[in-house]
Structure 1
Amino acid sequence: MNYAAVYKNIEQYPDSAVIKEILLGNTELFEILIRRYNPDLYRTGRGYGYNHQDTEDLMQEAFINSFQSLSKFEHRSSFKTWVIRIMLNQCYHKSQKLSYRNRPAIEISINKNSGSMFLTTNHSDPDKSVVNKELKNVIEGALKNLPEDYRMTFTLRELTGLNVADTAELLNITASNVKVRLNRAKMMLRKEIEKIYSPEDIYEFNLIYCDKIVDEVMKKILS
């Protein structure tokens, strides 16, 4: 069910306006926020190292938790900042329960999109688009093989749009260290992706998956 279908051009509504309406009782508008940040949460979960299904489960939990705590959101950072912070905390707690390799506790801040190593990519050129799972698996595999520090820095800067200052706050490192890690990560990946792929091609979150998350979360918060 498309709970927000009544609203045309929903991109014109800023997060603050949507949140205000939700808190006034228009719960169905939470769908706008889910659709708006589904791709960022998905890339965050995959960048953390989880598979597709685990990432979807974590996304649902993160969105439900954000809805339940929405009245506590103080707008000190963007909603994007806030919901990805929740997602990363979900990832961390799941990793502890499953006895994954030790990972540092994570906090995150996000504002505007960073400059991207992919800006020169001609994404409209069909010959340079990822059009099959085999190629996408190559890229995902390459990222997975990066050391975690570099993988998370690359994911947060290039795939979710963190700027340098926000990434530094998240990872508890200096801005200089962020730049160093990102440059090293790019060097590791450059030959495979720099002139071929766009951020949207990596860890693509297709509409069918987006609809699934929307339906599952909205059923729970409207029940």
Structure 2
Amino acid sequence: MFDHINRFFNALKSLYSKMFESTLGIKHAVFIIIIAMLMVAFSIKVPIDILNKLLFFGGLAFIYLTMLLCFIKYKNVHKVLLGKHKNNEELLTAFSHRSYIASITSFSFTLSLFTYGILMIFVSIFNISELKIDLVNYIMIMSSIVTVVWFLFHLTKEGVDKKKQAKKAKVYLRLYTAIATTVSLAFIWAFFEQSLKPFITYLAVSYAWVSFFIEAYEEKIQ
């Protein structure tokens, strides 16, 4: 399983370097997004149900991944989040609290806003009521997904001590779980109950999955 995950991240790195290897990088990204949109549009014409879904969700996945890579390259991150890092790549590839906070706030929120609009356009065009979701829940789901992806990226990262990396991931996970639990118990006012508690709940689910992946990874490297 982790070999496949590692190949996925290596493929993303390769795509990232090829997309932005020249000044035409953003044009390469636009080209990929257009092709992905055509895949989604073509899916409605395909009579085979399985192939239809593969084209639709495959196209959406390409759009999401391409936009994520564009944000990593071009998004302006506040210097408070960026810290001592020179650019976004350095920030996100660092296994640190600052990197995680930037991932689930700045990057996750921006990606959610852009991709939500695209998703709702396709939902309206193809009348797919199953995919209708409000923006707040969508942002929370995206933050949870980003959490799992961030941990998996650093767990399977090449060129580091695997046992130390797994141990560090476990310490981070315990800290974030403790913070989330404490915050959820500290809610007193109705405003916080309605606005932040659902977000903590989504994160708790992602932390449960991360815990599983860490334990599975530790078993693999032993």
Q: Is the TM value for this pair above 0.5?
A: no
- State the structure with more CA Rg: 2
Report the TM-score, using the length of structure 2 for normalisation: 0.28
Give the helix-richer structure, 1 or 2. 2
Report the TM-score, using the length of structure 1 for normalisation: 0.28
Higher RCO (CA-CA < 8 Å; seq separation 6+): 1
